[in-house]
Amino acid sequence: MENKSLVSITDYSKEKILYMIDMAQHFEADPNRKLLDGKVIATLFFEPSTRTRLSFETAANRLGARVIGFSDPKATSSSKGETLKDTILMVSSYADVIVMRHYLEGAARFASEVAPVPIVNAGDGANQHPSQTMLDLYSIYKTQGTLENLNIFLVGDLKYGRTVHSLLMAMRHFHPTFHFIAPEEMKMPEEYKLYCRQNQIRYVEHTDFTEEIIAEADILYMTRVQRERFTDLMEYERVKNVYILKKKMLENTRPNLRILHPLPRVNEIAYDVDDSPKAYYFQQARNGLYARQAILCDVLGLRMEDIL
Ligand code: CP
């Protein structure tokens, strides 16, 4: 049987991305459909989450599936030393799909190689977060009317931020120009800049975050400095307040600009920005429900004709 897992956004072609956006639009029009009646979805979260876990669980519930899983690995037998392989094999005999977040890069790929059921990567370390990328792409498409030829500014923790890594790779099909705004300690890693060069993706790097620099942005993608990924907490203290978006910085931005953030935010977007019509991060999180309904249906082999 074809492995329908979603481990990396690079598993999706351009056509597949556009197809998944189309499917998400159908779910936004009508999210309550009993398409997965009788299915069981397992959500295994080895790291904390609010949006990803709850939106996957809501997606499953609205599609008529039932949900099992855990949000605290300390309450599972992994705390007694059970390996990830054994955990995945066990849960595979209970559930039809496993949605997993893990702190180790590559954990989702490993799980997909041992599991007889599809794995959906809900974030693996600083590596990939493909379902977040699908909701980001859906949000960009909804707000810009296209994915083509956009100026996308990625701001903050570009070193550890898996959402920006996944987004960058997905956009290779759509001729973007990226602007990477980060301090030296959190710059976009060389491997992703190499990926840009190999895929003819234009990019510019900045260390300043000013009104002038963001004036040409179509999408301003803010990110949190990820305290949990720093091995040196002094370094985290040095960079944690480095960029804060304030409402007055938006005065000369493009009318079509939308501000995205995968959330949670800490202090990198001031609260006065929330009232701006350019703030889109809460709608973005809502779009996650529809994008994840599409993902669950797809990994379970449902096609567009099945959902229409
Ligand atoms: N965006 C995101 O992954 O949020 P959570 O950590 O709350 O799931």
Tell me: the pLDDT tens digits for 215-229?
999 999 999 988 877
Give the closest residue to 158 by CA, choosing from 272, 283, 243.
243
What was the pLDDT predicted at 306?
94
Point out the residues of the chain with pLDDT beneath 50.
1
What was the pLDDT predicted at 239?
80
Concerning whether 51 is annotated as a catalytic residue, the answer is yes
Concerning whether 101 is annotated as a catalytic residue, the answer is yes
Amino acid, single-letter form, for residue 180: F
Neighbours of 134 (CB within 10 A): 28
What is the rounded CA–CA span in Å between residue 288 and residue 15?
20
Task: State the distance from the centre of ligand 1 to the C-alpha of 1, rounded, in angstroms.
Answer: 31
What was the pLDDT predicted at 1?
44
Q: Is 177 a pocket residue for ligand 1 (Cβ < 6 Å)?
A: no
What is the rounded CA–CA span in Å between residue 118 and residue 55?
18
Active-site residue identified among 43, 52, 223, 253: 52
What was the pLDDT predicted at 3?
64
CA nearest ligand 1 atom 5, residue: 49
Long-range CB contacts for residues 279-284, cutoff 8 Å, separation at least 24: 280/139, 280/143, 281/222, 283/139, 284/135, 284/136, 284/139, 284/260
Q: Closest ligand 1 atom to the C-alpha of 54?
A: 8
Task: State the distance from the centre of ligand 1 to the C-alpha of 255, rounded, in angstroms.
Answer: 28
Give the closest residue to 31 by CA, choosing from 293, 300, 234.
293
Structure tokens at 248: 């007055």
Q: In testing the pocket of ligand 1, which one of 44, 124, 132, 228 has its CB within 8 Å of the most ligand atoms?
A: 132
Percent of all residues in the chain with a pLDDT value above 70, rounded to a whole number = 99
Q: Closest ligand 1 atom to the C-alpha of 288?
A: 1
Concerning whether 80 is annotated as a catalytic residue, the answer is yes
What is the rounded CA–CA span in Å between residue 39 and residue 252?
50
What is the rounded CA–CA span in Å between residue 217 and residue 280?
14
Q: Which helix (H) or strand (E) holds 102?
A: strand 97-102
Active-site residue identified among 43, 51, 162, 179: 51
Angle, CA 150 vertex, CA 138 and CA 218 arms, to 5°: 85
Neighbours of 190 (CB within 10 A): 8
Start-end of H helices in 71-144: 84-92, 107-114, 130-144
What is the rounded CA–CA span in Å between residue 293 and residue 71?
20
